[in-house]
């Protein structure tokens, strides 16, 4: 190709390839590079010739821990930095200052593209999907290889990666200059780095060369005076890839993106408050009925396992989770004398217990946001053969939400320990479900529950699954929780069933779990219960 096309050198940083200003260029993975650290298996393309790079030291290279974004220190020299607000004004005023029809048309096209992108971004309320949409629009408008959305921690102002996108064939990390992102965030500047490979203050031999960063842009995400974070994109191996117009586009998109992110964060907070209220209600149920401690949470997890086997989508799974949490909410209206009676119930008492599905439905009916959850509470004691309550519905007359909870509810009742009897083993409980197919239960729902069990997807939900391993009993839901490997007293972890935060404690050479306080905890004292007579049937969950 040429006598002085490129050079490959072994350095302390690894094996570097540097193009020597060749006319046809040097490419790695079909992208032109200026300087690049070679990795084992890289293919170097010089015109029609491909060279395979193999390193005998591949196994000895320093390995970074898994991550998404890696920050490296470094200054900025070949950079254009303007206040983001000024860049935004320039972009919006471009049509008025256009000197020709062509310029005006180009400005119009840019405004139309930003308007269309804004419509897409502003229509999304799910935060994770929003991040994806923001980067979709940016990558459609500017020639970026990698991008990242970094959000500031409210308490510390530390920038943390919220979402990132890597180009094809990139490493597992996106390495960016912490100097660039901090400057954009701290000073509200829109930054364009147009030739990072020749920038001495970025620190040649550091992340810029190692990751082959050639051009970069970064702009703040800000709503009024509140700083949310920054939006960052770069190219690999292409200097001067971005223009002033690209920076203007990035800033123009950052404004609506910041507003959409802030709105989505508000929605997340509202959703969290909503779910927290439901969890608090479920805690009240658990506190009322000490005999079935943890039942609500195990039923919810079994129900989710069934729903996944049935192929329910994300939104329906969230509904199922909340429906499982509130399926027994009507028990709040049952007298303590009945709910906590140590002996068998009289016919009159049993009749009063059987109204809890209707009571639960009435409690939710005046709250529109809970309307979709009513079937989980109202119909979970109906039977497939029509002999259930409260309405004696049969087969598919019973809404599927009720049929699903009926199986999850009964499966937990059979496999959980109660003060007055020991729970069945999983295989025995599965056999009972098989017997009830087509009579008590919807056969399709039973098959889904058994499939989840056979595949090992519900093992950790069983109350005693980890009892024989190194485990501790959750003080809230009584599930045996595996102790994290190598954990020492004081380590914090979560119960996989009720999701309460626990701390490992040790006393007299005995390990136990301490329940940590949170807004979601309303623990019930598991001691001092009066045993009921031994009795176990498939209809036991009526109580």
- pLDDT value, residue 107: 67
Residue 274 placed within a domain: no
**Is residue 283 situated within a structural domain?**
no
Mean pLDDT in residue range 475-497: 82
Length of the chain: 543
In a domain, 279, yes or no: no
Average pLDDT over residues 347-373: 91
CB 323 within 8 A of CB 405: yes
Question: Mind listing the pLDDT tens digit for each residue in 428-478?
Answer: 999 999 999 999 999 999 999 999 999 988 988 887 777 777 888 888 877
Contact 180, 187 (CB under 8 A): no
In a shared domain, residues 117 and 151: yes
What is the rounded average pLDDT of the residues 506-515?
85
Claim to verify: residue 52 and residue 129 sit in the same structural domain: no
pLDDT in tens, 279-318: 787 777 777 665 566 888 899 999 999 999 999 998 899 8
Does 186 lie in the same domain as 130? yes
Domain boundary among 203, 231, 266: 266
Taking all residues of the chain, what is their mean pLDDT, rounded to a whole number? 78
Of all residues in the chain, what percent carry a pLDDT higher than 90? 22
Q: Domain with 349 in it: what CATH number?
A: 1.10.3210.10
Residue 56 shares a structural domain with residue 89? no
Whether residue 10 sits in one domain with residue 154: no
Among 211, 233, 266, which residue terminates a domain? 266
Q: What is the CATH number of the domain that holds 190?
A: 3.30.450.40
Residue 1 counted as domain residue? no
Q: Are residues 132 and 42 in the same domain?
A: no
Q: For 28-32, 138-142, 381-385, which range has the lowest pLDDT when averaged over its residues?
A: 28-32
Under DSSP, the state recorded for 61 is: S
pLDDT higher at 295 or 31: 295
pLDDT recorded at residue 424:
87
pLDDT: is 381 or 18 the higher one? 381
Question: CA 179, 184, 189: angle at the middle one, nearest 5?
Answer: 135
DSSP codes, 402-453? HHHHHHHHHHHHHHS-BTTBPPPPHHHHHHHHHHTBTTTB-HHHHHHHHHHH
Same domain, 193 and 99: yes
pLDDT band at 207 (very low <50, low <70, confident <90, very high): very low
The answer to whether residue 376 scores a pLDDT higher than 80 is: yes
The order of strands in the sheet holding 510-515 is: 492-494, 501-507, 510-515
* Strands of 14-19's sheet in order across: 6-11, 14-19, 35-37
Give 111 or 65, the one with higher predicted confidence. Answer: 111
Question: Does residue 282 sit within a domain?
Answer: no
pLDDT at 521 over 50: no
Average pLDDT over residues 198-225: 62
| pLDDT, greater one: 51 or 416 | 51
Structure tokens that stand for 313 in this block: 């989508």
Residues 373 and 337 in one domain: yes
Q: Is residue 271 part of a domain?
A: no
Q: Which of helix, strand or coil describes residue 239?
A: coil
> Would you say the C-alpha torsion 95, 100, 101, 106 has a positive or negative sign?
negative
**Backbone φ and ψ of 279, nearest 5°:** -65, -40
User: Is the pLDDT reported for residue 534 higher than 50?
Assistant: no
Other beta carbons within 10 Å of 64: 11
**Of the residues 200, 233, 266, which one is the last residue of a structural domain?**
266
Q: How high is the pLDDT of residue 543?
A: 41
Same domain flag for 364 and 236:
no
The answer on pLDDT for 540 being more than 50 is no
Using one digit for the tens of pLDDT, what is the confidence trace for 117-153?
A: 777 787 777 787 888 888 888 888 788 888 889 999 8
Q: Which of 327, 444, 439, 326 is nearest to 388 (CA)?
A: 439
Identify whether residues 343 and 369 lie together within a single domain.
Answer: yes
Residue 173's pLDDT is 65
Please check the confidence at residue 80 and state whether its pLDDT lies above 50.
yes
Record the tokens describing residue 261, joined without a space.
């992110």
β-bridge mates for residue 473, sequence order: 480
Looking at the structure of the chain, the number of domains it has is 3
Q: Which domain holds residue 260?
A: 69-266
Nearest Cα neighbor of 231 from 106, 87, 78, 37 is 87
Are residues 256 and 327 both part of a single domain? no
4-19 per-position pLDDT tens digit:
788 898 876 567 788 8
Residue 390 sits in the same domain as residue 514 = yes
* CATH number, residue 23: 2.60.200.20
- Under DSSP, the state recorded for 62 is P
Task: With 0.75 as the threshold, say if the pTM is over it.
Answer: no
Handedness of CA 184, 138, 109, 103 (dihedral sign): positive
């Amino acid at each position: 190709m040429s006598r002085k096309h490129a050079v490959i050198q072994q350095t302390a940083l690894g094996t570097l390839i540097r193009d020597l200003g060749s006319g046809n260029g040097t490419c790695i993975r079909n992208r032109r590079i200026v300087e690049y650290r070679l990795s084992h298996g890289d293919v170097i393309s010089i015109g029609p010739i491909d060279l395979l790079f193999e390193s005998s030291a591949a196994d000895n290279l320093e390995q970074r821990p898994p991550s998404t974004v890696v920050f490296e220190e470094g200054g900025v020299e070949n950079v254009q930095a303007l206040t983001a607000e000024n860049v935004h004004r320039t972009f919006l005023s471009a049509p008025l200052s256009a000197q020709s029809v062509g310029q005006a048309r180009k400005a119009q096209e840019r405004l139309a593209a930003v308007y269309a992108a804004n419509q897409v971004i502003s229509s999304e309320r799910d935060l994770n999907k929003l991040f994806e949409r923001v980067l979709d629009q940016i990558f459609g408008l500017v020639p970026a290889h990698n991008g990242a959305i970094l959000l500031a921690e409210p308490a510390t102002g530390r920038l943390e990666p919220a979402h990132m996108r890597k180009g094809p064939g990139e490493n597992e990390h996106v390495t960016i200059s912490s100097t660039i992102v901090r400057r954009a965030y701290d000073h509200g500047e829109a930054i364009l780095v147009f030739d990072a490979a020749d920038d001495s203050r970025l620190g040649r031999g550091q992340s810029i060369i190692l990751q082959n960063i050639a051009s970069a842009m970064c702009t703040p995400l800000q709503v009024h005076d509140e700083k949310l974070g920054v939006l960052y994109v770069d190219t690999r191996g292409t200097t001067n890839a971005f223009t002033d117009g690209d920076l203007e586009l990035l800033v123009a998109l950052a404004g609506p993106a910041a507003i959409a992110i802030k709105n989505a964060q508000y929605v997340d907070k509202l959703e969290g408050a909503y779910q927290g209220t439901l969890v608090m209600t479920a805690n009240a149920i658990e506190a009322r009925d000490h005999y079935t401690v943890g039942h609500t949470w195990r039923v919810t997890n079994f129900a989710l396992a069934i729903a996944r086997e049935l192929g329910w989508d994300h939104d329906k799974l969230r509904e199922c989770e909340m429906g499982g949490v509130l399926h027994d909410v009507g028990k709040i209206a049952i007298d303590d004398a009945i709910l906590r009676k140590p002996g068998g119930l009289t016919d009159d008492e049993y009749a009063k217990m059987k109204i809890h599905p209707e009571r639960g439905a009435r409690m939710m009916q005046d709250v529109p946001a809970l309307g979709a959850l009513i079937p989980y509470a109202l119909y979970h004691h109906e039977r497939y053969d029509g002999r259930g309550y409260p309405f004696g519905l049969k087969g598919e007359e019973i809404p599927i939400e009720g049929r699903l909870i009926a199986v999850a509810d009964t499966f937990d009742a059979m496999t959980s320990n109660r003060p007055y009897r020991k729970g069945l083993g999983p295989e025995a409980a599965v056999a009972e479900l098989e017997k009830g197919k087509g009579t008590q239960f919807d056969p399709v729902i039973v098959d889904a529950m058994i499939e989840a069990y056979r595949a090992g997807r519900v093992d950790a939900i069983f109350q005693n699954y980890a009892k024989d391993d190194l485990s501790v009993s959750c003080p809230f839901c009584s599930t045996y929780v595996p102790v994290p490997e190598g954990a020492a007293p004081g380590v914090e972890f979560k119960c996989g069933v009720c999701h309460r935060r626990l701390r490992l404690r040790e006393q007299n050479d005995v390990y136990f779990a301490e329940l940590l306080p949170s807004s979601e905890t309303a623990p019930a004292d598991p001691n001092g219960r009066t045993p009921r007579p031994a009795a176990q049937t498939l209809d036991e969950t009526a109580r």
